[in-house]
Amino acid sequence: MAEADDDGTAVEELLGARLGYLLKHAQLRLNGHAGPALAPFGLDARELAVLAVLAAGRPLSQLEAARRLGVDRTTMVALVDTLEGKGLVERRRSEQDRRRNVVELTERGRRVRADAENAREAAEREFLAPLGEKDATRLVKALQVLIRTPDEP
Amino acid sequence: MAEADDDGTAVEELLGARLGYLLKHAQLRLNGHAGPALAPFGLDARELAVLAVLAAGRPLSQLEAARRLGVDRTTMVALVDTLEGKGLVERRRSEQDRRRNVVELTERGRRVRADAENAREAAEREFLAPLGEKDATRLVKALQVLIRTPDEP
DNA sequence: GGTGATAGTCAGCATCACTGACGATCAACT
DNA sequence: AGTTGATCGTCAGTGATGCTGACTATCACC
């Protein structure tokens, strides 16, 4: 990810107006902050998001968790695999519906999640710092609007 | 990419504040608009970005083009391969420096680029429409700031 | 004319997310 | 009970993406 400009302004005018470019590189930048922040916990952002979803309310099935994160159920299998391997969550068969795997945080999972969330929030604040508080809030709100807008038929 | 919420509010409160989630899904949404818009031209967004970089000024070497797009030079090889296969660009050895491949738009490449850019812009406007003009501009500006902020050592 | 850096290429690897298939299970109807 | 259709978890396979490392050809410099 070089961004080595022998001709910086041209890049800005050409690609800086491309939303795809902006979103992609904003994500890369954010990962540059969040990745190292979460590394001490042995987590990446997606795994932490799974923990967050599970910590929110009652235990969820894999499919429910997948839906809330917007990932495929086949992706969630591997995600739960690794989190289980790290001892942060536990799978068990639901007794109400034996097709489902109920996924639940372990005690250690709860602790790690709380600490890692703090680290993630700090990393995001650091990432957003150049904007100032007002613009940072506006950015988040705008993205939320874009995501929640229903797709047209 | 379901987003099927049996419990929508929880998702918003939990993940709506996660910048990574927001950026990722904003990108997915945008692709949902831009992909179909560019499909008639046989292009994807990255390929169009290459064409745009090449159309900007003098012809570039593959490495220069790669740097401006923020992609790896090995990635650019394949990118130029496919664009050349579509007859939109031409490679030739630089005579000043025979290590370099000068990449240049063909006449057809120029035409396709112009039309595809219009389609891309229309798709972006459509995607940003729910924000209103003012907020849309603010969003773009904010992303630009975040991307241009130099990394800390 | 030897040395070190650079540009393009290729093979290989890792990640990510999806499709399609399968078995187990459930719900509903008969 | 038995059948049918849907659902959930799992796995294998696929395609896209983006790297690393190695190789060749070329350049710039001394």
> Structural domain tally of chain B?
1
D3 C1' to A79 CA distance, Å: 36
Domain that holds residue A109: 36-147
Task: Examine residue A131 and state whether it is found in any structural domain, yes or no.
Answer: yes
End-to-end CA distance of chain B: 37
Residue A152 has pLDDT above 90, yes or no: no
Tokens 């790290």 belong to residue: A86
DSSP code, position A97:
-
Give the span between the Cα atoms of A60 and A50, in whole angstroms.
11
Q: Which residues contact B119 (CB under 8 A, 6 or more apart)?
A: B37, B38, B40, B41
C-alpha dist (Å) from residue A92 to A80, A86, A95, A97: 12, 16, 9, 11
Task: Examine residue B57 and state whether it is found in any structural domain, yes or no.
Answer: yes
Q: What is the pLDDT of residue B58?
A: 87
Question: What CATH number should be reported for the domain holding residue B59?
Answer: 1.10.10.10
How confident is residue A153, by pLDDT bands cut at 50, 70 and 90? very low
Where on the phi/psi map is residue B125: left (φ > 0), alpha (ψ -120 to 50), or beta?
alpha
Residue A137 has pLDDT above 80, yes or no: yes
Task: Examine residue A29 and state whether it is found in any structural domain, yes or no.
Answer: no
How confident is residue B1, by pLDDT bands cut at 50, 70 and 90? very low
Task: Examine residue A43 and state whether it is found in any structural domain, yes or no.
Answer: yes
Task: Examine residue A134 and state whether it is found in any structural domain, yes or no.
Answer: yes
The answer to whether B53 contacts A25, with C-beta atoms less than 8 Å apart, is no
Q: What is the pLDDT of residues A45-104, one digit of tens each?
A: 999 999 999 998 889 999 999 999 999 999 999 999 999 999 999 999 999 999 999 999
CB pairs A-B closer than 8 Å:
172
Q: What is the pLDDT of residue A12?
A: 47
Residue B16 has pLDDT above 90, yes or no: no
Q: Is A94 helix (H, G, I), strand (E, B) or coil?
A: coil
Within 8 A of A4 by CB-CB distance, chain B residues are 67
